[in-house]
Amino acid sequence: MRKCVKCQNKAVVYLPQHRLSLCKEHYMEWYARRVEATIREFRMFSKKDRVLVAVSGGKDSLALWHVLHRLGYRADGLYINLGIDEYSERSKLLCDKFAKDRDLVLHVVELKREVASIPEIKQVEKRPACSFCGQLKRYYMNKYARLLGYHVIATGHNLDDESATLLSNVLSWNMEYLSRQFPVLEEREGFVRKVKPLCKFTEKENALYAFLAGIEYVEEECPFAEGASSIEHKMILNQVEEKSPGTKLRFYMDFLRRMHPLLSSEEVSLVPCRVCGEPTTAEVCSVCRLRERLSPKPLSSSASS
């Protein structure tokens, strides 16, 4: 039986990459301290900032909201209802329950009311659902964060997500994506600052925190999840990790500390979308163009938000 290195009680977890055995209480404390340290290391936000946590009902985002609240940050939630049948219904229910049980504020955006649900859009769009779903989520997250007066948007991206994205960008030497791969994207011309406080935690570490904190979260995958290449990259990294614990974290952190500063970040200029006024690089933003394809009618030239 492994013992907790802090109190000698029975350990509930062994973290090989950190060579740590911890009991429930000390795991939760370790997790919270490490989140706080990550927020400080990358100067993500302070206790004065109003933080909007993008919650999906999954383990990562709810663990993030829970730990930010526990650390004393001013964190509210934003749930975007994608209208994906029972999957979205259950996710919404669990986010609602999470907020009510803890007396927290949850904002809900109904995609069906804003544009159309993901299954409805999928009938018209040929590309993979995740491609337009990701665009729509980023658009409404930013729009509502700004309208509701939040200083920063926090998302639950974890180390598995970030290191798999990094591997994919390295394999294709996508310099533009590499230069933007950082856990903080600064505020600029209509874009609210975006941060990833869980970028140093694996999926498993987040799941364990959520479990120990008694958080109910959706375990089933979105039925539209395709991501074959990202799953493959995660598998490759997991195999290396198993043989050599700590590789995933080192791969990601060494990129951030040693490689990222060498990459030039040429920023494309942003303009307000001619139709909705949201920041975009084109004359009309991708969401307005999507809206146009869904119900073709002449695009108005006045901003509606």
Q: Is 95 in the site for ligand Q46 (CB under 6 A)?
A: no
Q: Identify which of 17, 18, 16, 23 has the alpha carbon closest to the alpha carbon of residue 2.
A: 23
Stretch that binds Zn ion, among 33-41, 133-141, 204-212, 268-276 (CB under 5 A): 268-276
User: Which residues ranging from 70 to 89 are in contact with ligand Q46 (CB under 6 A)?
Assistant: 82
For residue 131, the one-letter residue type is S
118 near ligand Q46, rule: CB under 6 A: yes
Q: What is the 3-state secondary structure (H, E, C) of the chain?
A: CCECCCCCCECCEEECCCCEEECHHHHHHHHHHHHHHHHHHCCCCCCCCEEEEEECCCHHHHHHHHHHHHCCCEEEEEEEECCCHHHHHHHHHHHHHHHHHHCCCEEEEEHHHHCCCHHHHHHHCCCCHHHHHHHHHHHHHHHHHHHCCCCEEECCCCHHHHHHHHHHHHHCCCHHHHHHCCCEECCECCECEEECCCCCCCHHHHHHHHHHCCCCCCCCCCCCCCCHHHHHHHHHHHHHHHHCCCHHHHHHHHHHHHHHHHCCCCCCCCEECCCCCCEECCCCCHHHHHHHHHCCCCCCCCCCC
Alpha-carbon distance 229 to 195, whole Å?
Answer: 24
Q: Check binding of 224 to ligand Q46 (CB under 6 A).
A: yes
Distance CA 68, CA 60 (A): 12
Our finding on whether 170 is near ligand Q46 (CB under 6 A) is no
**By C-beta, is 45 or 217 nearer to ligand Q46?**
217
Q: Binding string, 28-67, against ligand Q46, x = CB under 6 A?
A: ----------------------------------------
276 binds, among Zn ion, ligand Q46, none (CB under 5 to 8 A by kind): Zn ion
134 binds ligand Q46 (CB under 6 A): yes
CB of 272 to ligand Q46, least distance (A): 26
What mask, x for binding Zn ion by CB under 5 A, covers residues 4 to 43?
Answer: x-xx---------------x--x-----------------
| Site map 184..223 versus Zn ion, x via CB under 5 A | ----------------------------------------
Residue 108 Cβ vs Zn ion, minimum distance, rounded to whole Å: 22
CB 137 within 8 A of CB 55: no
* 130 interacts with, out of Zn ion, ligand Q46, none, CB within 5 to 8 A per kind: ligand Q46
Q: Is 133 in the site for ligand Q46 (CB under 6 A)?
A: yes
Size of the site for Zn ion (CB under 5 A): 10
**Residue 21 or 61: which CB sits closer to ligand Q46?**
61
Name the binder of 222 from Zn ion, ligand Q46, none, CB < 5-8 A by kind: ligand Q46
Residues that bind ligand Q46 (CB under 6 A): 82, 118, 129-130, 133-134, 222, 224-225
Return residues touching Zn ion (CB under 5 A).
Answer: 4, 6-7, 23, 26, 273, 275-276, 285, 288
